Structure 1
Amino acid sequence: MTKELEYSATLTGASFLLYELKQVLKLKKQGLSDVEIKKQVIEENAFEYKFTSSLKRSVPSVIRRAIVLDDQLQEWVLSGPLDVGKIINLYAIMKTDRLFFEFMDEVIREKLEEGNYLLEKKDLNVFFVTKAEQDEKMAKWTEQTINKLKQVYMKLLFEAGLLRDKKTGELSRVLLEEDIKRHLTYIGDSAYLRAIGE
């Protein structure tokens, strides 16, 4: 569960990576182990990156996301509509990144529940300042790291369809298919549904 994870800034080098997640899930389906997947992705440049360093930085995050998806969720990412894949990827990011989950749960969920569809800079600032006050490790992060995370969070929301406009900060609700809602509730992950405004 997300609560056991420490706060981390790994998202600065990971971002949305839906295409990459699909590549890893295809290899998983072929029966490759996580170690074999990592090796093959890097050797064959399965993500089609220009630089190997970018590849090496993103592979562990993508594999972590793939691990938290059960067979049904993996299948939906691989064969479902793009919007479904985006939402399941967002769920996987929340499952593997405690800080991002808390941002979704404490900022985005609250806004959507209140019918407030405006995400402002101050919302991000207050969130990060509050978390840094609560966590010694995070308090030591540089301003550059925090700023990069803020950019990444906005990008994640945008790519997942929760943020309509990066400049204005206008939020929008995502329409989740009943199958996904039922499945996440069944496996005990309804907290993640609430975090995206369901």
Structure 2
Amino acid sequence: MRKQEYSAGMVKLSFWFSEFCKVINLINQGKTLKEIKVLNLEENLFAAPTQDRAIQIFNTVSNRVKSLDQSFYSLFEQSDIATQKIINLIAIMKTDSLFFDFVYEVYREKLIIGSDELADSDIRIFFNNKQLQSEKVAKWTDYTLKRLGTCYKTMLMEAGLTDRASGIRKILKPILDKTLEQHLRDKGMELMVHALTGVR
């Protein structure tokens, strides 16, 4: 998987599952992303409070959709909601290297050692390590890192990978749909399978 530069941009973003569903649904109906972009401006597809937010949602969600091979689109529509949420999470991981590292290095490690708890201290340790590895992350403020940590917890919870508890969250290991797992392997995305199922 090609590594992008680390970014704290996710603090302004959401899981946007229904928006992701809507874009894939329109693509499967034969619409292009260019046409969906126009529709979004004309009809406020995502019921955004402002046009700026509508544009931001479209740009983010369309990047997530484009990060996946087109063969995922029909698979998405044939899948149950739990699997669709996992596919959305995979697209988020594909478009944000730091979040991918978090799921791979923290969530996966918890599954491997058999721990079912995700604590704020786990997130702090992750960011401390990244600050040692990356000059860019080292420059981020504690406030940014705290917001990013909250965002990461929300993404995992929305995808069904943790519960909603405040404080320490319970990890819910996903049962990866066999068709999706095989599809990820066929597309050379085994690391995603490992990250989500806790494989060394």
Task: Say yes or no: TM over 0.5.
Answer: yes
- Give, in angstroms, the shift of residue 8 of structure 1: 1.1
Contact 1:2 1:101 in 2 (8 A): no
1:70, 1:6 → 2: CA distance? 21
Contact 1:7 1:138 in 2 (8 A): yes
- Give, in angstroms, the shift of residue 179 of structure 1: 0.8
Is 1:192 the equivalent of 2:192?
yes
1:24, 1:139 → 2: CA distance? 36
Corresponding position of 1:68? 67
Closer, same or farther: CA 35–144 of 1 in aligned 2, 3 Å: farther
Contact 1:103 1:127 in 2 (8 A): yes
- Give, in angstroms, the shift of residue 60 of structure 1: 1.5
1:74, 1:25 → 2: CA distance? 6
- Give, in angstroms, the shift of residue 30 of structure 1: 4.2
TM-score, normalised to structure 2, is 0.91
Structural mapping, 1:160-179, within 5 Å: 160-167=159-166, 168-179=168-179
Corresponding position of 1:106? 105
Structural mapping, 1:82-121, within 5 Å: 82-121=81-120
1:77, 1:61 → 2: CA distance? 18
> Which 10-residue stretch deviates more, 173-182 or 140-149?
140-149
2:144, 2:30 → 1: CA distance? 37
Closer, same or farther: CA 36–139 of 1 in aligned 2, 3 Å: farther
Corresponding position of 1:183? 183
The unaligned stretches of length 5 or more in structure 2 are none
1:111, 1:2 → 2: CA distance? 25
Corresponding position of 1:77? 76
> Which 10-residue stretch deviates more, 182-191 or 64-73?
64-73
- Give, in angstroms, the shift of residue 36 of structure 1: 3.3
Structural mapping, 1:13-162, within 5 Å: 13-162=12-161
TM-score, normalised to structure 1, is 0.91
Closer, same or farther: CA 145–38 of 1 in aligned 2, 3 Å: farther
1:93, 1:63 → 2: CA distance? 11
The unaligned stretches of length 5 or more in structure 1 are none
2:137, 2:38 → 1: CA distance? 31
- Give, in angstroms, the shift of residue 93 of structure 1: 0.7
- The number of residues matched between the two structures is 197
Q: What percent of counterpart residues are identical? A: 36
- Give, in angstroms, the shift of residue 131 of structure 1: 0.9
Q: Output one character per residue of 1:18-68: Cα deviation in whole Å (capped at 9) or x when no partner.
A: 111112113323444433332322331111122223222222111111112
- Give, in angstroms, the shift of residue 186 of structure 1: 1.0
2:126, 2:136 → 1: CA distance? 16
